Amino acid sequence: MAQNAPEFKDNDMYRLLRDEKINEFNQRIAAGEICDLTGADFRNLVLTGINTAGLDFSNCYFRGCDLRGVDFSQSKLNGASIHDAQISGTLFPSSLRAEEIALSLNHGTRMRYY
């Protein structure tokens, strides 16, 4: 596998998201469950309603995802790509520049911020 290529994670929490079981995922996160989602492939999923506070989505691949209304403001997105995603109403970390978001959305570049 190429470096930083999106991957299918082998954990229950990731599988919940792949199956679009957002409510169950949110309940388990609220109960304190921890999961590794870095570098995950979320291609073409509907993730509307996901609670992302404190989660690390670094190097994740959100191509074609429905992210409308998702609040990423308290999560990590460094190196993530949102190519062709639906992002109406999506909140991004305040340190992530609009240019980075637009480049990722339109061209698939990985978002970088510090």
Q: What angle do CA 32, 15, 102 make, to 5 degrees?
A: 90
72-87: pLDDT as tens digits: 999 999 999 999 999 9
Please report, for the domain that includes residue 54, its CATH number.
2.160.20
**Structural domain count, the chain:** 1
Say what the pLDDT of residue 1 is: 38
pTM over 0.75: yes
Count H helices, E strands: the chain?
A: 3, 0
pLDDT per residue over 24-65, tens digit each?
A: 999 999 999 999 999 999 999 999 999 999 999 999 999 999
Give the H/E segment covering residue 25. Answer: helix 22-30
What is the pLDDT, as a whole number, of residue 6?
Answer: 87
For residue 20, the enclosing domain spans 1-114
What residues contact residue 1 under an 8 Å CB cut-off, 6+ apart?
7
